[in-house]
Every structure is written in C-alpha cells, then in structure tokens.
C-alpha cells in the first residue's frame, strides 16, 4: 500500500508542476501584478514537494489509529480497567497538540513569506547584475540578501524547535509514560502482584504503540503544511488568464441610440470557422534593415537665361497689376491716375530692362572685337 501512495505522490507533484508552468505562460498582466517570480519559483519547488510528503504519510496516518486501538484492547486484557488511565493520558495530550499545530502553522507561513521575498530579491539581482556592477552596488545588495536570509533562517529555527518540542518530546514520550501510569494504577486498584508475564506483555504492547504514535503527529504536521501549500496554489491558479481568441456572440452594436440593423456584417463571417483572420489578395512590403541606403545627390537649381528672366519679371508685374485692379472692384470704368502711373512705371521698367540688355550685348561685342585683335597680333 505504501508503494501505491508513493506513486500517487510523485504523480500529483508532477501534475501540479505542469499546471503551474502552464499557468505562468497564460497568466494576464493583471494577474501577474498580484504575484511575483519568487513566489512562483517557491511554489514550484517547496509547495509541490509538501504535497508529495503529505501523500507519502497518508498511509501511516490512516493505519496508526487502528494499530493504537488494537494495542489498547490487548492491554485491557492484561491489566483491566487500569488501561483507561493510559487512554485518559492520551486525551490530555490533545489540547497540547492543538497548540503545537497552531504554532507550527504560523511558523510555516513566516518561512514561506521570507522565502518568497528572498527568492524574489535574488531574481531581481541576477536580472540587473550589469547595472549593479556598473554602479558598484554589490555590498548594499549583499547586505539586503543576508538580512532576508537571516529572517528565513530564524523562522526555520523556530519551526524546528516547535516541531521537536511538540512532537518528539510529547508524542514520543507518551508510550514511555503510559506504562508507568498503568502499572501504578494496576497495583494499587487490583491489589495484585505484578508478575513478569503481565509486565513484559504490557510493555511489548506499548512498544508496538510507539511506531503509530511517532507517525501520527508527523502526519498531522504534513497535513497542516500541505493545507497552507494548497491555499497558496489555489490562490495563484485562480488569477485571471489571457484570452486565447475573441469570437462574436452577438451582432456588433452601432451605439445606444442607433439601429442595430444598420450594423455591418463581414462577408464570409463564419463562427464555426477554424480561422480567426483570412487575408485574400493582400500584398505586403517591408524594409530590409541590413540593406545599404542609396545616397542621392542634391540637384542644383537650373540657371535661367536672359529671355526667361525678362519674361518672368513681366509676368510677375502683370499678375500684380491684375490683383490690384481686381481689389479696386470696378470703382470706375475709366482708368485712374494710380493705374496710369503704374502703367508708366511698368513701361519705364521695360525700357530699363531693354537698356540693360542692349548694354550687355554691346559689352559682349566689344569683348569679341578685342579677342580678334589679340589673335591677329
């Protein structure tokens, strides 16, 4: 039977570890904000192991009461009513066991709390080790880690002392104290002489009770610790997860004051389809980051000839005159003095332009003549 319980314990631990791993991959951002990496690592290593230990002690915990009852019945056949003294002594140990179980539960919660904080701190240090090295923060972070580790060790020490006092001294000493009390009551009440056969038989039966008395409190201890582990695991597994995909359950709404019949339905929309998005006749383009960019030379502005400059200046002057005449808005059908003055100024401008062009041509002809004279000499 113990082999079966061991197989079940290993199977449960593996299944819970896989469940935690799947939860860590699908947990949402809101759920991740309620937990930490150190807590997840601690659950993967400690809480799953605690479940395995409890299942390994289930067999001993279930068999121990039966063994104790059978041993008490046989002891009653040897010493009679004096057996009830031993039973009463064991019932007196129940309140003490309750206090011990409560203390162990509190110490176990402290150990898990400090362990989560330490593992979280170690993960943060390893993730930012480069920054810590750059700024020479090794000593401050080392002191903080040692402080968290000291708290965890202190909680572990208190847990060990509580377990030793509560279970080792009290529960293991019960099979030794019980025979003494039973023999004292048997001699004084029955008024008989305690012979060797009765004494050794009773002591042997009490020694048989030593083994179930040792494993029974250990089973209760594992039960208390596994109960705490199950609460932590269920709290983490109940956190919100990411939505795999969104399927429309109702037609789209166009607003509170609009007609739902005006909502558009995508052509070919099939709720039973295996595809969430289908692209038909689509084209895509992207930029290769490794490609060498092509350098383009800036183009120089094109130089205008004399005729083009003269034409552009005349065109600009005419457009400006046209805009000013349009603003006048037909105030008078006859040309005003201002318009005559503008015409005269434009005419003088054209004369000056022609004079400049003629001077440039004369200068050019003079340069050609001088060049010919120099060549003839």
Q: What gap in Å lies between CA 166 and CA 108, rounded to an integer?
A: 15
Q: What gap in Å lies between CA 150 and CA 52, rounded to an integer?
A: 27
Q: What gap in Å lies between CA 224 and CA 112, rounded to an integer?
A: 14
- pTM of the full predicted structure? 0.49
Length of the chain: 377
Q: Encoding tokens for residue 62?
A: 């279930």
How would you write the pLDDT of the chain (377 residues) with one tens digit per residue? Answer: 678 888 888 888 889 989 988 888 888 888 888 887 778 888 888 888 888 888 888 888 888 888 888 988 888 888 888 888 887 887 777 677 777 777 877 888 888 888 888 888 888 888 889 998 998 898 999 999 999 999 999 999 988 888 777 776 666 677 778 888 888 888 887 777 778 888 888 888 888 877 777 777 777 778 888 888 888 889 888 888 887 655 555 554 444 555 555 444 555 555 555 666 777 778 877 766 665 655 555 566 666 677 777 777 777 777 877 777 776 655 444 444 445 455 455 445 444 445 545 555 556 666 665 566 555 55
Q: What gap in Å lies between CA 284 and CA 334, rounded to an integer?
A: 66
Q: What gap in Å lies between CA 339 and CA 315, rounded to an integer?
A: 17
52: nearest Cα among 22, 17, 97: 17
3 state DSSP class of 88: helix
Spatial CB neighbours of 212, under 8 Å, sequence gap ≥ 6: 60, 63, 64, 65, 67, 68
Q: What gap in Å lies between CA 335 and CA 345, rounded to an integer?
A: 15
């Amino acid at each position: 039977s113990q082999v079966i319980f061991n197989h079940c314990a290993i199977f449960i631990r593996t299944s819970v570890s896989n469940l935690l791993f799947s939860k860590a991959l699908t947990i949402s951002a809101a759920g991740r904000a309620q937990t930490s990496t150190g807590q997840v690592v601690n659950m993967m290593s400690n809480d799953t192991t605690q479940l395995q230990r409890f299942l390994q002690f289930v067999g001993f915990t279930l068999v121990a009461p039966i063994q104790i009852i059978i041993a008490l019945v046989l002891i009653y056949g040897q010493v009679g009513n004096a057996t009830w003294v031993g039973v009463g002594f064991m019932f007196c140990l129940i309140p003490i066991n309750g206090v011990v179980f409560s203390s162990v539960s509190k110490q176990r919660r402290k150990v898990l709390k400090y362990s989560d904080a330490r593992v979280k701190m170690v993960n943060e240090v390893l993730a930012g080790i480069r920054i810590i090295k750059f700024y020479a923060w090794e000593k401050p972070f080392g002191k903080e880690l040692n402080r968290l580790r000291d708290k965890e060790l202190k909680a572990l020490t208190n847990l060990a002392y509580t377990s030793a006092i509560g279970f080792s001294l009290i529960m293991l000493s019960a099979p030794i104290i019980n025979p003494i009390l039973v023999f004292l009551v048997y001699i004084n009440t029955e008024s008989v002489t305690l012979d060797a056969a009765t004494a050794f038989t009773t002591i042997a039966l009490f020694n048989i009770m030593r083994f179930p008395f040792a494993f029974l409190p250990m089973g209760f201890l594992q039960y208390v610790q596994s109960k705490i582990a199950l609460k932590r695991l269920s709290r983490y597994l109940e956190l919100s997860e990411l939505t795999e995909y969104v399927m429309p359950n109702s037609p789209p709404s166009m607003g509170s004051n609009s007609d739902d019949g005006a909502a558009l339905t995508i052509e070919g929309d099939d709720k039973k389809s295996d595809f969430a998005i289908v692209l038909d006749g689509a084209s895509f383009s992207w930029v290769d980051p490794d490609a060498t960019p092509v350098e383009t030379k800036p183009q120089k502005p094109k130089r205008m000839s004399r005729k083009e400059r003269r034409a552009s200046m005349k065109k600009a002057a005419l457009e400006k005159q046209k805009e000013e005449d349009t603003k006048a808005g037909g105030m008078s059908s006859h040309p005003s003095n201002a318009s005559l003055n503008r015409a005269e100024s434009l005419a003088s401008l054209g004369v000056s332009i022609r004079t400049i062009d003629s001077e440039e041509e004369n200068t050019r002809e003079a340069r050609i003549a001088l060049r010919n004279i120099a060549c003839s000499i």
